[in-house]
Amino acid sequence: MNSPATRTPISVLIADDQALVRGAFGVLVDADPRMRVVAAAADGAQAVTLCAEHCPQVVLMDVRMPELDGVEATRRITTRDPAVKILMLTTFDLDEYVFGALRAGACGFLLKDTPPEELLNAIAVVADGEALLSPTVTRRLIEEFTRRPEPARGPLRSLDGLTDRERDVLLLIGRGLSNAEIADRLHLAAPTVKTHISRLLAKLQARDRAQLVIAAYESGLLDSA
């Protein structure tokens, strides 16, 4: 097995309509030996095209861009290649586009003023197959969307195949708790929490933790809690 020093760098595409932001993120990412920038896009349409050309592992995707916004670009990219991990970047922690981005296949989101170390860690986390959702922001996000009436939400997603414990775990995921917080709240070992999450992913046909948050919302579980 390769050591961290010899592991192939994580390939990253940066999509942002501001040249200064693209440049700053590019310098930051390229300075980290774990990763490298393979392309930069000035709008969503370019992001879709460059993703097809360069096949990056991770995309740093601005939510608001001309030509094609980050949500639609995310949907097109993940439809074509579900293996691409997309990390949304937003100026506001309750950006109106964030929930749509998660639904479109994004692995998570960060504020643009996130400290550099956290941004780099986020890239590494999503490249490793994990979703990245700030617990605090996720709680506020879900609270906001469950508070609003949404006629377009459609029929409630069924949770009939879940055990009571899996429902408990899903509820806490939907509330934005981390694995450690879930383990503490339910008095479970950390590996047990991971096992429950793996089963939830399989039973709900969810790609990642972000989609489990959506499932918790769409099932009405958060409404009744």
Q: Is the pLDDT of residue 4 over 60?
A: no
Distance in angstroms (rounded) separating the CA atoms of residues 148 and 144: 7
Count of beta carbons in the 10 Å neighbourhood of residue 147? 9
Distance in angstroms (rounded) separating the CA atoms of residues 77 and 222: 30
> Which segments of the chain belong to CATH 1.10.10.10?
161-224
pLDDT at 167: 94
pLDDT at 151: 47
Q: Is the pLDDT of residue 166 over 80?
A: yes
> DSSP 3-state assignment of 8?
coil
> Which segments of the chain belong to CATH 3.40.50.2300?
10-133
Give the CA distances from residue 95 to residues 56, 60, 100, 150, in Å, rounded to whole numbers and listed in that order: 25, 16, 10, 17
* Distance from chain centroid for Cα 7: 24
- Per-residue pLDDT tens for 83-106? 899 998 887 655 566 677 777 888
- Per-residue pLDDT tens for 9-31? 999 999 999 999 999 999 999 99
Average pLDDT estimate for 147-162: 65
So what's the architecture of 161-224 in CATH?
Answer: Orthogonal Bundle (1.10)
So what's the architecture of 10-133 in CATH?
Answer: 3-Layer(aba) Sandwich (3.40)
